[in-house]
Structure 1
Amino acid sequence: MENNLLKDNVKKISRDDIEIEVHYIDSNGNKLADSTTLTGHYLDSLKMPWKTIPGYVLSSIQNFQQTFIPNSDGIYLIYFTQMAAPVIVYHRNTKGELISDPQYLTGDLNKSYQAEPLPEARNFLVDYPNDVTGRFSDKVQEYEFIYDTMQMDDFEIEKNLFIQTKNNVPVYEQPAGKQPLSQPLPYDTTWRVFKAVKENYNETVWYNLGGDIWVSANEDIKSFTIKQFSEEKKLLDNPLGAAVTNISFTYSVINSMDINRQVRILFYDYQDITTWETPYGTIINTRYQGGKSVYVKKLLQLDNNSVWAQLDNGNYIESKYLNL
């Protein structure tokens, strides 16, 4: 009889006889995750089953205990909602310029994320972070992808190609430039295209209008060709030959050169050229017919890369209309 009692006592001591239920709730008492039931021996150490819940942060614990002692109410881990800081992804070219707007990855706190390169630019990727995965936290995290988007190829254009502006159009000193020159091409003007290049990255075509003046084919322009074209006729239907009263630009002279000789106007005799009191300033009623000669004192280059001829009477003509 005594042996049986001893066996029962040993069996009772050896089993897990304390149960503690751990609950996961928000500050309003709403359940956030399934509860966990812990079992253990009386007074044994209790290891708390912490849980990471996306979008929440642990704020307090109710009925906390570190050992197994009877607790019919259980333990409550109380979480507050918390907004995670965004993950910002930058996409730049090899010059450090952004090729698209920064991407903002958002998600719940502690939720995993993965930063990725632009799908359309993967073939141009040259540098990227070693690890592009992580979890949203309360701190802003940043990633940067670098692409070689400056690759360009010559683009074949039709012979005697021209463009006509349908609005004021920005121009650049190099293809794919980010900062336009100070003055755009005026509305409803016609320009000859000398060559073109195409960006490999986005297939944008850039037209060269002579010197360091480039315009994107994506601008508000119309392109056309002239079958019968002579080098003497730099432009057809001179756009500045019409009466223009609303053109006014601020400019500065960046270079000048003395000429002091007679030159011929390139247009045919049925066309005439607008003269200006100052470049892009007041238009003078007196005009010069094509084929006639004028005396040029000097050439002035403005900061928009246009070149003007100063005549002996002090008036100005754009040099592209002269046989210099």
Structure 2
Amino acid sequence: MTQVEEHGRVPARRESPLSVAPVRIVVRYLSVLGERLLADTQVTGPAHSHIDLPWRVIRGYKLVRVENYAEVFQPVPGGIRMIYMAQKAAPVVVYHKNAEGNLIVPPQYVSGDLNATYHLHPLSGNPFPIIQAPPTDAGVFGTKSKSAQYVYDTLQLMRLPVDKQLLMRMNTAVRPFADPLAREALPTALPGGSTWPVYRAVVDRFSRAQWYDLGGGIWVKRTSQMTLLGRPLPMQPPELTPFRHRAEVVNHTQNAVSLFQFPRFGQAYKTIPSGTMISTTGLMADDQGRQWVALDSQLFISRWDLLLLD
């Protein structure tokens, strides 16, 4: 009778010490010259089980090969050796542009060690609003060059609406400028008491100063030395140049065309459909050089909205 039959149980199986003892493997991080770059790491696990190797990223170095590589735990004399080679990182090129795509300053180059983290920043002391920034302002230096772009709203001057009948009187002598961004005033002052027509106006977005174009390349910055005046409106148009024709009202972008009363050419009095046949009587130009055609109804239409038929 066997022992199983005699006692009714199976004796415990004795395991081999090799099947239960953990396997320890040393992982070393060395340069191609054999220099130790990081402290050794030891991994432990049951024999023949899968190894999760402790990969390391080392600043300024690139992993080029692994010696004594193993996928499962087994004795590895000398350990697993990860070999790295020193390598410079490619720079990150940063462009600072305006909305038109022009560079504000020369490209900036951000440099550092391979695998090191970099951070991007807009221009130092930047006075302009940023309208586009890189998707991320941080990253890791690699072997290939990267680029990033900041786009700024550099439009310093904004147009202001101006009444076409606006005048400006100089309360005292005022030295004008050639343009609103000029640093130095022109040598000849505008006499005190003189009155000038205003053709357009702008505001400096950053200083909030208002500038007025008085024509002929003369701009003045609004101060207490000057007063804005409304220009008296003439009640009758000037003598018209004879311009008697049959014409068709034509506008390729709108179905209706504006008609105006003299002298309010900035505000439509009524509209007529494109394609209407009309008769003209005279022609005049305003102080901005635009041509206006008088109709037999005493209203005016832009010369560009007419197709002459005779």
TM-score by length of 2: 0.49
Highest Rg: 1 or 2?
2
With normalisation by structure 1, the TM-score equals: 0.47
